[in-house]
A and B are shown apart, each in its own frame.
Chain A
Amino acid sequence: MNLERELSALRIDWPATPAFSAAPRRRRRSAVAAAIALAALAIAFAVPQSRGAILRLFDVGAVHVRTVDTLPRATERPLSVGLGPVVPLASARALFPRLLLPRAGAPIHLATGKVISVLFSSGGSPVLLQEFAGGYYVKKLVAGTTTIEEVTVAGADTALWLAGGAHLFAYPPRSPRLAGNVLLWAAGDATYRLEGPRLRKEEAISLAQSLRRG
């Protein structure tokens, strides 16, 4: 065995490379200031310090939400793409003790052993429910036209509603994709998201509160 060759042939599941802002620029600072102003209007708590043009606004459980002035390139894909294979309920429960489901018998997908997805229909539109394993790192990048609002979801420690503009969602090793309106919430070690192209805030909160333990 040629060890050097074997090492070179290994393909590693690296975390997705984030979008970086290489140099601070006056124009970008004003974009950041605009983002802060927008967030300050939309929410009622303090915004952490800016780091260059990337602003870490919120961490909701495993999901790190950041505002940027320009979204990196990403594709628009149907909600059903890249969810991973369907797994038995018992396997999902073993990995996700706080598993939530919209209804009994809904197909449960598992990707990379760390992301549970359930695609279902609400009011005739597709809605994607996802849960992320504790310690996982999920990135959501938000450009200036997206509104971020702190909301209350019964049983959640923190919850955010993101709507309006384009935002980007990435969890390794999947490539980033553009996302629709999203409700994010964290309860204990569990982090959930509900996404749907026509999802409204009140409907999303109501859906989240109607989910049952799987």
Chain B
Amino acid sequence: MEGRPRAERELAVRAQRGDAHAYEELVRPHEEIAFRVAYVITRNAADAEDATQEALLKAWRALGRFRADEPLRPWLLRIVANEARNRRRSAGRRERLALRAAEDSGEAAPSPEETVLGLAQRAELLRALDELPDNAREVLVYRYLLDLSEEETAAALDVAIGTVKSRTSRALERLKEAYESRT
């Protein structure tokens, strides 16, 4: 893939030859995003941690099937999301995803020119997002809150890229309606 760091490809090749250190170095940059993808599915941190840990070990065992010239992240996120869904099913719980706005850390705060919503309105937007059906919420969280690409989102949702596009469009409509009905 164009623009893909050469280092990642080299690490992937070394990892496929059984170098565990190379594998750890390869996946470490993706662990945070993998954990968050799992958290959106499991809705609690303990299950998300277990799912991510298990998926990392499964990915290590399945590394022989990974094509080293492909980007790692979609491949890894597919495994993580699949493991998280399995855990959610087996846990039999239906906890609500309760995303909360971060405390103002001063970092990466949006500038007023970019956005129009105030703090209270953003909280309402998050609540509206929380209440969307799973399919709609997940695609929006992955695309916009976790900033995943369409390819990565498709992998995490285990759907085609075309489905990501159409699902995103419908989910935005639903969110707009849900938000406007709250305000």
B101 within 8 A of A: yes
Interface size of A in residues (CB-CB distance below 8 Å): 31
Bound: A137/B50 CA distance, A: 13
A4 within 8 A of B: yes
- CB-based contact A6/B116 at 8 Å: yes
The interface residues of chain B, by DSSP majority, are classed as: helix
A125 within 8 A of B: no
Which stretch in B1-9, B54-62, B154-162 binds the other chain?
B54-62
The 10 closest A-B pairs by CB, nearest first: A7-B144, A9-B110, A15-B45, A23-B20, A11-B102, A13-B100, A22-B24, A137-B45, A17-B32, A13-B102
Bound: A18/B176 CA distance, A: 34
Residues of chain B having any CB pair with chain A under 8 Å: 20, 23-24, 26-28, 31-32, 35-36, 39, 44-46, 48-50, 52-54, 56-57, 60, 99-103, 105, 108-110, 114-117, 122, 125-126, 129, 140, 144-145, 147, 172, 175-176, 179
Q: Can you pick out 9 interface pairs between chain A and chain B where the beta carbons lie within 8 Å of each other?
A: A7-B175, A12-B102, A15-B45, A17-B32, A17-B35, A22-B56, A51-B53, A52-B56, A112-B103
Chain B residues with CB under 8 A of A11? 101-102, 105, 108-109
Select one of B23, B99, B144 contacting A23, CB under 8 A.
B23
Bound: A63/B45 CA distance, A: 12
Interface residues in A60-119 (C-beta closer than 8 Å to B):
64, 112
Q: A3-B172, A173-B102 are in contact. Are A12 and B144 (CB under 8 A)?
A: no
